[in-house]
Amino acid sequence: MFIKNLAVIAFAVLLSGCYTTSEMAVSSNQHLLDIDAQGLIFTSGIDGEVVKRAAAITKRRGFTHFTIAEYARQDGTSVQTIGGIAQTRYRPGYATTTVIPMIGVTPTSARRVLIQMYHPGEPIPPGAYQVSAVLG
């Protein structure tokens, strides 16, 4: 039972996570987007999230197409102590307690992209994303 509980908690820590974003307008048609992800589910979907957020920014600023002009990637892990479990064994005449720390290792991933945006009628480079196609 002890090992099963430990495995369930460790698996939950591995999957838990979130996205953290920051944005900054660089010029009238360029925008910088930083996205940090933690947790297995979120780190595996970060590139799709970058495209969706870039499309939303492009739409919000009144453009119809965008490209990713610059792309930086960083992947790693985050190690956290998330508590511990004390296990006491009773023997005739004495007891021993063992404390087992629980350490969670969470995958992390970060992207920094420069979004180049285009209005209709401007020359749009091949491979540019169309906002309506990304956002549906």
pLDDT in tens, 22-66: 999 999 999 999 999 887 777 888 889 999 999 999 999 999 999
Is the pTM above the cut of 0.85? no
Q: Is the pLDDT of residue 96 over 90?
A: no
Q: Which domain holds residue 80?
A: 2-135
CB atoms within 10 A of CB 113: 23
Q: How far apart are CA 47 and CA 52, in angstroms?
A: 9
The residues with which 21 forms a beta bridge, in sequence order, are 35
- Whether residue 111 contacts residue 35, with contact meaning beta carbons closer than 8 Å, is answered with yes
The residues with which 81 forms a beta bridge, in sequence order, are 103
Q: Name the pLDDT band for 77 (thresholds 50, 70, 90).
A: confident
Q: How far apart are CA 69 and CA 46, in angstroms?
A: 17
Domain count of the fold of the chain? 1
Distances in Å between the alpha carbon of 20 and those of 39, 43, 92?
A: 12, 11, 54
